Amino acid sequence: MDKSKIQHFKENLEKEKEILIGELKTVGKVNPRNPDDWEAKSVDADIDQADRNEVADEIGNFENNVAILKNLEIRFNEVKNALVKIEVGTFGVCEVSGELIEEDRLLANPAATTCKAHMNTK
């Protein structure tokens, strides 16, 4: 793949990474003990002073944040890994076969790790 196409994918991945960081910040925060990990925002209600409905709502919000955060974090890590692959020169190579990943597949998902033939095998 030529350098201009790789640069295009890099720019798109960097934009997506920034968008994902913004979305992650709405439901979580960086884990202070592990900066590569995100954790859902905790319950804000004062459990001792809140009524049952407030507590239930806050727990529900936390559970929703956990679910959303999990999906966002998976995509965030996929994008980060694709950017690393660009830097080390392995971007666009199928992790199963070692063949080049089809360009239309990368256009649909620039963080793809496999070619079309192996997309359901990982």
Mean local confidence (pLDDT), 59-87: 93
Query: By the 8 A CB rule, do 44 and 58 touch?
Result: yes
Query: pLDDT digit string (tens) for 9-36?
Result: 999 999 999 999 999 999 999 999 998 8
DSSP for 79-99, please give it: HHHHHHHHHHT-TTB-TTT-S
Q: Which pLDDT belongs to residue 59?
A: 77
Q: What is the pTM assigned to this prediction?
A: 0.84
Beta bridge partners of 93: 100
Q: Which helix (H) or strand (E) holds 1?
A: none
